[in-house]
Amino acid sequence: GLPDEVTIYEVGPRDGLQNERAVVPVEVKAELISRLAAAGLSVIEATSFVHPKWVPQLADAEKLLASMERVPGVRYPVLVPNERGLDRALAHGVTEIAIFGSATESFARRNLNRTVDESLAMFEPVVTRALAEGLRVRGYLSMCFGDPWEGPTAIERVVEIGGRLLELGCYELSLGDTIGVGTPGHVTALLRAFGTAGIGTSRLAVHFHDTYGQALANTLAALREGVTVVDSSAGGIGGCPYAMSATGNLATEDLVWMLHGLGVRTGVSLEPLVETSVWLASRLGRPPTSRVVQALAKE
Ligand code: HMG
Ligand code: MG
């Protein structure tokens, strides 16, 4: 069966924009976040408190948090890799963060300048302090299906590192297909392996990039296993600057179209969402990759 309701974890302002070359003005980011909330998204990942040289596009995280609207009932998590990032987030009233680990050594090195073990050691005091401050902490795990340098990722490895992220104190683990190589049978096998290890789908979310056009099929496979939290980005914008061949996330509009077609509630209204992606595309200077946006957008 399928769930009655799915929580869409919108990552457009963070994952979507982090790879944009031209710096997007902070006012545009704030307007994007307001529009997404108005379209009914209840979780909107706003930005990252990472090193500004590593992700220059998000170097305005402080300015954004100081200026953006916060709609009551909407959650606005941010990425935090280390204690310096946590200090910055706490100083700006953040109540929810996400740490982000890697299932492979190659990506841990490129994305965090650490081995997998060193990155977990870096996260530990972040989670401990964040929980003591009353924050919610999500864990991401990248390269859960394959890695551009190492090839396919062993399922046992993903379950092991994912389990360690949850043990640090994360309420949820988001399984990232950073380069979009996964296929539905692999998704099913991975989720069942977590189940066998005692980690049920109530603690798992899925995070698909659509590089190979598999994101929607993979999402459906995950829903059938009981996953009810799905990450996506409005218009399908995005990609990770430290993972070659990564493209945008599963588009939120494509996800909403499928879910509503299946009778699954999301709380999201498609029309203002499509308008938002068309507006953002005009700001970014290129068309949205979402097929649903292309189909529904008016001239
Ligand atoms: P490092 O160079 O090893 O940092 O980078 P360090 O700990 O050695 O510190 C060096 C200097 O940076 C110090 O300054 C720190 O204070 C400063 P100094 O004392 O030399 O003057 N510094 C900072 N400044 C501001 N904010 C900070 C910060 N941290 C250190 N937070 C680090 C290590 C983790 C910082 C770096 O590798 C980094 O920022 N990485 C982030 C990369 C990133 O954001 N990638 C994209 C997000 S992940 C993703 O997209 C995947 C996902 O979507 C899921 C999926 O698709 O799979 C989540
Ligand atoms: Mg991502």
Mean per-residue pLDDT pooled into runs of 10, the chain (299 residues): 97 95 96 98 98 97 98 98 98 98 98 98 98 98 97 98 98 97 98 98 98 97 98 87 74 98 98 97 89 87
Q: Report the interhelical angle of 116-132 vs 155-168 (nearest 10°).
A: 30
Report which DSSP code applies to 16.
Answer: I
At residue 299, the pLDDT reads 52
Does ligand 1 have an atom closer than 6 angstroms to the CB of 82?
Answer: yes
At residue 238, the pLDDT reads 81
Q: How far is the CA of 51 from the centre of ligand 1 (A)?
A: 4
Does ligand 1 have an atom closer than 6 angstroms to the CB of 178?
Answer: yes
Residue 228, number of CB atoms within 10 A of its CB: 17
Distance CA 40, CA 288 (A): 20
SS3 227: coil
User: 21-43 burial by CB neighbour count: b if 16+ within 10 A, else e?
Assistant: eeebebebbbbbbbbbbbbbbbb
- In this structure, which residue's CA is closest to atom 26 in ligand 1? 51
CA 25 from centre of chain: 21
Closest CA to 165 of 139, 191, 129: 139
At residue 287, the pLDDT reads 84
**Is the entire prediction scored with pTM above 0.90?**
yes
Residue 131, number of CB atoms within 10 A of its CB: 15
Confidence check on the interface: ipTM exceeds 0.85, yes or no: yes
Q: Are 43 and 84 in contact (CB under 8 A)?
A: no
Distance CA 297, CA 286 (A): 14
Q: Are 131 and 123 in contact (CB under 8 A)?
A: no
Atom of ligand 1 nearest to the CA of 177: 57
What residue type is 132 in one-letter code? A
Query: What's the distance, Cα to Cα, between the start and end of the chain in Å?
Result: 39
Does ligand 1 have an atom closer than 6 angstroms to the CB of 231?
Answer: no
Q: Are 227 and 269 in contact (CB under 8 A)?
A: no
- In this structure, which residue's CA is closest to atom 42 in ligand 1? 111
Closest CA to 40 of 200, 235, 267: 267
Distance CA 239, CA 107 (A): 14
SS3 221: helix
Place of tokens 């990252």: 48
Q: Which two tokens stand for residue 9?
A: 């974890």
- In this structure, which residue's CA is closest to atom 24 in ligand 1? 51
Atom of ligand 1 nearest to the CA of 11: 53
At residue 21, the pLDDT reads 86
Does ligand 1 have an atom closer than 6 angstroms to the CB of 112?
Answer: yes
Q: How far is the CA of 91 from the centre of ligand 2 (A)?
A: 25
Phi, psi of 209 (to 5 degrees): -95, 145
Does ligand 1 have an atom closer than 6 angstroms to the CB of 9?
Answer: no
Strand-pair partners of 43: 9, 75
Residue 121, number of CB atoms within 10 A of its CB: 11
Atom of ligand 1 nearest to the CA of 112: 37
Residues with CB under 5 A from ligand 2 (ion): 15
Catalytically active residues are: 240
Burial class (CB in 10 A: 0-12, 13-18, 19+), 59: middle
